[in-house]
C-alpha cells in the first residue's frame, strides 16, 4: 500500500466533492493514517479457523401466517389524509 499523504487526501476529497481547509486536511490525514494502522493490526490476526459470518448474533426471520383479515375501512384510512382524489391519496410529485 502506498503512503497516505496530504496530496492523496486532497485528491480523494475533491473526488468526493468535499472542500477541506488546511487544518482539516492535516487532521483528516492523521485520522486516516490511524485507521489504516488499525486495519494493519487486524490483518495480522489469525482468522484461519473462523467461519465467515454476516452477523455476530444468530439472525432468523420471523414469519407469521398470511391469513386474510378485516381491512381498515377506506373512509378511516382517508380521514387523516391532507388530500385525496376519489379513493386514492393525493401526494406531491417528487420525480421530475
CATH number at residue 10: 1.10.20
Q: Do the Cβ atoms of 31 and 6 come closer than 8 Å?
A: no
The predicted pLDDT at position 1 comes to: 52
Q: Do the Cβ atoms of 13 and 32 come closer than 8 Å?
A: no
Is position 68 within any domain? no
Is position 25 within any domain? yes
Q: Provide the domain count of the chain.
A: 1
Is position 56 within any domain? no
* Boundaries of domain holding 36: 6-44
Q: Do the Cβ atoms of 29 and 9 come closer than 8 Å?
A: yes
CB atoms within 10 A of CB 7: 10
The whole-model pTM stands at 0.45
Q: Which grid coordinates belong to 63?
A: 414469519
CB atoms within 10 A of CB 9: 21
Rounded average pLDDT per 10-residue block, the chain, 96 residues? 76 88 83 90 88 83 89 89 89 84
Amino acid at each position: 500500500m502506498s503512503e497516505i499523504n496530504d496530496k492523496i487526501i486532497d485528491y480523494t476529497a475533491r473526488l468526493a466533492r468535499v472542500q477541506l481547509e488546511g487544518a482539516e486536511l492535516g487532521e483528516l490525514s492523521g485520522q486516516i493514517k490511524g485507521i489504516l494502522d488499525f486495519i494493519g493490526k487486524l490483518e495480522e490476526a489469525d482468522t484461519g479457523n473462523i467461519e465467515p459470518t454476516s452477523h455476530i448474533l444468530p439472525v432468523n426471520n420471523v414469519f407469521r401466517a398470511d391469513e386474510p383479515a378485516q381491512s381498515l375501512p377506506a373512509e378511516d384510512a382517508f380521514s387523516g389524509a391532507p388530500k385525496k382524489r376519489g379513493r386514492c391519496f393525493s401526494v406531491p410529485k417528487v420525480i421530475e
